[in-house]
């Protein structure tokens, strides 16, 4: 039987949540450059030393905020996908992809925090290189709130693509058809997967993610306005193309 949470722990958890909410408000209103622990403390009526007891640095606060935002996006994508039957993997992938785009366009500052320019001292992606102090060589991040939340985010798309392959294998290149530098990296990646998959499946997954993420990123950052004001048709064309690439052209359905 789980131990009841003490009043002190409840108060601490509530204060941590208030701090992260204030940090997010600062992020939305002023960008990452306007986010400081002193500013957050002032907004909450705390002293800076009091805030340091919860988050020892701006970078640690940002890491926890990034993890929360990842989980928020994951929750929206999962909830949308769960409106469809579990065996409708193609429909769930389409729904998750469209929800990701809608979330990104509705939360530009948060999307930029997760997927924009790197922030010194903050790692935002699984396996990303995090800077070390005093110019030391970067370390590879394989733990912590950002890594774990990023893994959960990536697992949504990776799990659906893997499920599609298991249910109805789509064409993938053979191992010896993949260029050696890429093959070696895919092998190292696949060694960490809970379920073994052909290297070609992972190459196809990466191609799909590059196209999906690239389309959303270019629209969210305004890099398609030179050609179109409404990028949704372009995004839908990419989804239709990805359905073909995954060997499930019948899975594409117009929104």
Q: What tokens does 128 get?
A: 């990303």
Full-model pTM: 0.86
pLDDT of residue 130 exceeding 90, the answer is no
Pairing of the two strands 139-140 and 129-130: antiparallel
Within the chain, which residue ranges are assigned CATH 1.10.10? 1-56
Average the pLDDT over 44-51 and give the result.
Answer: 89
Which residue has tokens 């809608």? 102
**What is the model's pLDDT at position 92?**
95
* pLDDT surpassing 70 at residue 125: no
In the predicted structure, residue 128 carries a pLDDT above the cut 60: no
d(CA 244, CA 64) in angstroms, rounded, equals 38
Question: What confidence category does residue 7 fall into, taking pLDDT thresholds of 50, 70 and 90?
Answer: confident
Q: Across residues 116-145, what is the average pLDDT?
A: 54
Q: What is the mean pLDDT of residues 230-235?
A: 96
Residue 94 CB neighbour total at 10 angstroms: 26
The whole-angstrom separation of Cα 61 and Cα 21 is 11
pLDDT tens digits, 175-223 = 999 999 999 999 999 888 877 889 999 999 999 999 999 999 999 999 9
Measured CA to CA, the distance from residue 126 to residue 123 in angstroms comes to: 8
Indicate if the alpha-carbon torsion angle 64, 65, 67, 71 is positive or negative. Answer: positive
Give yes or no for residue 138 having a pLDDT over 50: no
Q: Is the dihedral of CA 74, 75, 81, 86 positive or negative?
A: positive
Q: According to the model, what pLDDT value does residue 71 have?
A: 96
User: What CATH fold (topology level) applies to the domain 71-251?
Assistant: Tetracycline Repressor; domain 2 (1.10.357)
Pick the range with the lowest mean pLDDT from 2-6, 109-113, 147-151, 213-217: 2-6
Q: Name 119's bridge partners.
A: 122
Angle at 153 (CA atoms; ends 55, 78), nearest 5 degrees: 115
Which H or E run contains 130? strand 129-130
Banded model confidence at residue 10, pLDDT cuts 50, 70, 90? confident
The per-residue pLDDT for 155 is 92
Please give the average per-residue pLDDT across 229-253, as a whole number: 92
* CA contacts within 13 A on the Cβ side of 136: 7
CB atoms within 10 A of CB 221: 15
* CATH class of the region 1-56: mainly alpha
pLDDT of residue 142: 52
Q: Is residue 208 within 8 Å of residue 245, measured between CB atoms?
A: yes
Helix %, strand %, coil % of the chain (to 5) = 65, 0, 30
The closest alpha carbon to 208, from 179, 233, 249, 241, belongs to 241
């Amino acid at each position: 039987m789980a131990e009841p949470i003490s009043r002190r722990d409840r108060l601490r958890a509530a204060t941590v949540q208030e701090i992260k909410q204030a940090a997010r408000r600062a992020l939305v209103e002023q960008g990452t450059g306007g986010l400081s622990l002193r500013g957050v403390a002032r907004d909450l009526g705390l002293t800076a030393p009091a805030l340091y007891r919860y988050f020892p640095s701006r970078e640690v606060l940002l890491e926890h905020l990034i993890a929360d935002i990842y989980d928020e996006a994951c929750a929206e994508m999962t909830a949308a996908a769960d409106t469809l039957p579990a065996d409708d993997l193609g429909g769930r992938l389409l729904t998750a992809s469209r929800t990701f785009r809608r979330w990104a366009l509705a939360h530009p500052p948060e999307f930029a925090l997760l997927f924009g320019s790197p922030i010194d001292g903050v790692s935002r992606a699984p396996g990303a290189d995090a800077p070390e102090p005093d110019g030391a060589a970067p370390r590879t991040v394989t733990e912590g709130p950002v890594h774990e939340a990023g893994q959960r985010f990536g697992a949504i798309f990776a799990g659906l693509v893997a499920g599609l392959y298991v249910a109805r294998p789509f064409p993938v290149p053979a191992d010896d058809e993949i260029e050696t530098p890429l093959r070696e990296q895919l092998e190292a990646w696949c060694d960490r997967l809970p379920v073994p998959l052909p290297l070609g499946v992972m190459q196809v997954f990466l191609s799909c993610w590059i196209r999906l993420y690239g389309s959303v990123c270019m629209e969210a950052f305004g890099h398609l306005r030179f050609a179109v004001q409404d990028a949704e048709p372009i995004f839908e064309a990419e989804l239709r193309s990805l359905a073909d690439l995954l060997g499930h052209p019948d899975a594409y359905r117009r929104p």
